Amino acid sequence: MKSRTLLTAVLLSSAVLCGLTALLAAPPNAGAPEPNLPSWNEGASKQAIMEFVGKVTRQEGPDYVPPAKRIAAFDNDGTLWAEQPLSAHLVFALDRVKALSPQHPEWTTTEPFASVLKGDIEGALAGGEPAISQIVTATRAETTTGEFEHAVRDWMATAKHPKTGRLYSEMVYQPMLELLAYLRANEFKTFIVSGGGIDFMRVFSERVYGIPSEQVIGSRGKLKFELKDGKPALVKLADLNFIDDKNGKPVGIQTHIECRPIAAFGNSDDDIQMLQRATTGSGARLGVIVRHTDAEREWAYDVTSSIGKLDAGLDHAQMSGWTVVDMEKDWKVIFLFEKR
Amino acid sequence: MKSRTLLTAVLLSSAVLCGLTALLAAPPNAGAPEPNLPSWNEGASKQAIMEFVGKVTRQEGPDYVPPAKRIAAFDNDGTLWAEQPLSAHLVFALDRVKALSPQHPEWTTTEPFASVLKGDIEGALAGGEPAISQIVTATRAETTTGEFEHAVRDWMATAKHPKTGRLYSEMVYQPMLELLAYLRANEFKTFIVSGGGIDFMRVFSERVYGIPSEQVIGSRGKLKFELKDGKPALVKLADLNFIDDKNGKPVGIQTHIECRPIAAFGNSDDDIQMLQRATTGSGARLGVIVRHTDAEREWAYDVTSSIGKLDAGLDHAQMSGWTVVDMEKDWKVIFLFEKR
């Protein structure tokens, strides 16, 4: 590298982060190209997505975006996979309470753990966010990152969804897998930006979604570096370090990649800020809300749901021209196992 | 994607994070390949580096590492560029005090700002870490990420190093630029893991080092999402969110990428934990300490230096078989401008 060239580059550069090697780093061949989104019905949603991708990839067009800046951000629960009746991360934590209870005799008499151990999940969760936070925290604390990874992997390989009896890795939306592959075939880099635990999702994001761990952004607890039997280990602590939800989503994106997405996909009011941030830049932008309208194949819920509440998000979608995907009408198939 | 194949993959997968698309995402052609590290003298350091790279890239060899797991982590200040007499980030913050002083009349009578404004840097920094932290914090707070990026870019384009009169982008070590390019040519992914501010480094990491913003890990303050004139903005807050130094370095790596590096490069005691974490896994590993031994071309400092103190790190290097690069003996050239 010539220093003078370098210097010129530094002096002349305009506000371009995300830059050059990110371009080279884009995985154009990750996932099989799915040019036609086969599980999507023809209609306004599919059309909006394909038109947007056409615009930003047309090299001579006014909306062309170089591959380095083709960043797409996806919420996870309710956007890429089912979140009903409880989010997978919460079910995992509830199962961990049972698995860890021999080491915590005090849990048999302390709420919300006592209810969990009696199988009264509704009672355990009656305490709302604080109770959930207590459960997630207690089942994470003092675990090394390696131990936690193994616990998640074992759970994903065995735990069954209470309604479908399927593994959680089968509860992913087939049209969204196709969309991820379609975007990557068009040299987008796909990110998960979820309120869920970052260490939980990273265990399976690659295998399930084709999204490598470093492209997963989520909530995280504090970690402590320590020597265990002379070997360095990272131990999870009870304290939270960052909540990647609502206002936190654009913050999480900034912290991890500093690139502003040009497309964002969510399903609830918790995704509004991420979509605002993605869709208010200059040039072509895409905001998509996945709306749960299919009570038969999945679930139907929106304004009154305690999980995945979608209310203000619908107003924002109308004001800002976001695409609202109607799961019942827009998707030929939701889960791949329906087809068998 | 066939769900049954997916399911099998999930069930059979062993503890492999960092995974498959990370492999595809590695930028094998980023930077010109520099197969011979031309600015490095022949000797034990160059040999150790090249032997390690040879081992992990030899497909039939016992130490072969697939490209997806070829993660190399570099400290920044004192490892990739000069950190004397003060780190660039601190000089930037000191210059910001002057630039922002019209908006802060109270600074003329408040330390450490009053001393900075009088040009008495030594006096301003006499308060040690708390004073430095105050300066860095005050010059960051209530700035949007976009404003901050522009301030850094302007500063990098104009500020001159007090000893050499060169731009800070010229204060990079030529042998380390060659090493970065050499590793990338061998399908490594190169990361910066620095105690410095993440938003500061990301502005120039791509242009100066060929490292995209998402591969920069550093200390960070809290951010707030807000609507400014109806447009979403991210505003930097005074509070620190994470200090990426000492014990924090392996934590920062885990948080950002979850992959454990197989090679790590540092220059001070602050890098010990990162090197421990990188070099204690199974298989071939490389730990490198850059030792500042050249008082003429750069600076000579180690055990007694307040900046970049290297003391325990030398003991660890000996115990753990880390390579200690002697800048005077091992490097033909340190800065490219020497050659002109």
Q: What is the pLDDT of residues B285-297, one digit of tens each?
A: 999 999 999 999 9
How much is the average pLDDT of A297-311?
A: 96
Q: B152 by DSSP, 3-state: which?
A: helix
Residue B340: which pLDDT band, with cuts at 50, 70 and 90?
low
Q: Please give the average per-residue pLDDT across B315-335, as a whole number.
A: 98
Q: What is the pLDDT of residue A263?
A: 98
CA distance A114 to chain B (A): 32
Q: Do A202 and B3 touch (CB under 8 A)?
A: no
Spatial CB neighbours of A4, under 8 Å, sequence gap ≥ 6: none
Map out the domains of chain A with their CATH numbers.
13-84+171-220+243-339 (3.40.50.1000), 88-158 (no CATH)
Radius of gyration of chain A (CA): 21
Higher pLDDT, B39 or B29: B39
Q: Do A224 and B251 touch (CB under 8 A)?
A: yes
Which residues of A fall within a CB distance of 8 Å from B2?
336
Inter-chain CB pairs, A–B, below 8 Å:
206
B223 vs A contacts (CB less than 8 Å):
251, 254-255
Percent of chain A with pLDDT strictly greater than 70: 89
pLDDT the model gives residue A229: 83
Give the span between the Cα atoms of A128 and A238, in whole angstroms.
18
Residue of chain B whose Cα is closest to the Cα of A173: B3
The pLDDT, as a whole number, for residue B257 is 87
- How large is the C-alpha radius of gyration of chain B? 21
Contact by Cβ (8 Å): A267, A289: yes
Per-residue pLDDT, A35: 63
pLDDT over 60 (residue B107): yes
Choice between B259 and A208, residue whose per-residue pLDDT is larger: A208
Lowest mean per-residue pLDDT among A19-28, A121-130, B307-316: A19-28
Q: Which residue of B has its CA nearest to A208?
A: B6
Alpha helices in A159-204 (DSSP H): 174-185, 198-202
> Among A63-67, A292-296, B175-179, B252-256, where is mean pLDDT lowest?
B252-256
Residue A21 has pLDDT above 60, yes or no: no
- Residues B27, A29: C-beta atoms closer than 8 Å: no
Q: pTM higher than 0.90, yes or no?
A: no
Q: What percent of chain B has pLDDT over 70?
A: 89
pLDDT of residue B14: 30
pLDDT of B20 reads 37
Q: What is the pLDDT of residues B61-102, one digit of tens each?
A: 999 999 989 999 999 999 999 999 999 999 999 999 999 999
Q: What single DSSP character describes residue B167?
A: B
Q: How far is A58 from chain B (nearest CA, A)?
A: 23
Write a three-state SS string for B301-318: ECCCCCCCCCCHHHHHHH
Q: Enter the ipTM.
A: 0.79
